[in-house]
Amino acid sequence: MNARIDLTQLPNKPLWFEQGPSRAPLEGAGEADVVIVGAGYTGLWTAYYLLKSDPSLRVVLLEKREVGFGASGRNGGWASAIFPISLDRVAQMYSHDAALQLQQAMNETVDEIGRVLALEGVEADYAKQGFLSLARSAPQLKRVQAAVAASARFGLPQQWQALDASQTRARVGAEGTLGGLYTEHCALIHPGKLVRGLARLVEKMGATIHEHSAVIEMAPGVVRTERASLKTGFTVRATEAFTSQQAGYSRFVIPLYSLVLATEPLPLELRRQLNLDHRLAFNDMRHLRVYGQVTAEGRLVFGGRGAPYRWGSRITEDADLVDSIHGKIHQTMLEFFPALRDARITHRWGGALGVSRDWCPTVSIDRTRRIAWAGNYVGDGVATSNLAGRILRNLIQGRDEAINHLPLVNHRSPSWEPEPLRWLGVNSGLAAASLSDIEERITHRPSRTAMLLEKLTGAH
């Protein structure tokens, strides 16, 4: 039976999923100092830092489904210092110094996650070994050289390191590798262990989590579900892509889907043969992003973009499974590692990530309405959500720290276009990214289409 048929028979179940404790829905009326809507990374990190600063706070988290149901339980496990838009674009929007400070904060955040997990005894398979982007074509190799040169010119000569072919293959034994781009500022985690561990931690610190408590209204000083309400001193909206499903926010952010596969645990001998006996995050420098890691138990997790945007920003469970895209991801995995052609795929899944119109995340506060929010991470939220949690703590409590002045704080993105322009534009962009990779395979030159796309979005 071929791999394509095997893939289509797999259910939508993230490798990271594990049945957790049942938490009761919110009932009746009550009060809290801070109500956090969404029990993913952003909400949980915010609760952690608030309670670490002031253990007397009454913090309540309301979750529509279960803890970690969204992107926090479905991502690829990279806690990286990557920011979705380039530092050049950040400098254009704010300043050169602001961009440098942002990158420094992102670098420090990778270490902060590891520090907290060690301090609090949360086991999430955290391993900081860095991130390697492979160059597997001449245009990709040119991008390696350009990235290192641009980073040095910008004032960050140590952020990225160019590796030659032998150095790169010694770290990841993918086929056709010509070189690589390495940074130390990335760790791998087990997404499910992290989100469940944070939930247990904040409950131990005094927070209350209510699952199956969909919020229908966030008004100044009050949060309502269908069956209950809470008076609150402050509300935090931590709903990432699901913000698009809320009244009045349909053009604030759009959901784009990332899809993932996981293999059975690979024999150590095979992993050594492929130079995969490590916890190094990796991808290659194509335009339509793919990403990989080897888990602590030796599974290869391999994912990518390419799933179409759904009309009207719809988020449905059937969108997590796109047979054609999962098939392409599997094909790409085998292009990297032909020796895995007989490796069994045990899991496939997908999930929505939040994207703002200018691809820039935000951490914001409206003191008049007593509401704060963070998100729009464009798939780079594992680390950024930790930074957001610390900033939200500061904004709510009035603490003045340097991170409060980073360019993502109170950043306002323009609204997405109404349909059908939104559907046409987003899916055209996805198609352009895919065509850019095809163009480079044919011409062996950097894609002009990709250059235009980068100018339009600021993404990198």
Residue 460: pLDDT band with limits 50, 70, 90 = low
Residue 2: pLDDT band with limits 50, 70, 90 = very low
- pLDDT reading at 59 higher than 50: yes
Q: What are phi and psi of 190, to 5 degrees?
A: -95, 105
Q: What's the pTM value of the predicted model, to 2 decimals?
A: 0.96
Residue 447: per-residue pLDDT: 86
The residues spanned by each domain of the chain are: 1-130+184-460
Q: Which fold has domain 1-130+184-460?
A: FAD/NAD(P)-binding domain (3.50.50)
Distance CA 291, CA 332 (A): 10
Are the C-beta atoms of residues 362 and 375 closer than 8 Å to each other? yes
Are the C-beta atoms of residues 268 and 298 closer than 8 Å to each other? yes
Residue 20: per-residue pLDDT: 85
Alpha-carbon torsion, ordered 107, 85, 354, 112, to 10 deg: 10
Higher-pLDDT residue of 19 and 23 is 23
Residue 248: pLDDT band with limits 50, 70, 90 = very high
- pLDDT reading at 439 higher than 70: yes
Average pLDDT over residues 210-237: 97
Give the position of tokens 């698009």.
244
Q: What are phi and psi of 455, to 5 degrees?
A: -65, -35
Task: Determine how many CB atoms are found less than 10 A away from the CB of residue 187.
Answer: 27
Distance CA 166, CA 407 (A): 39
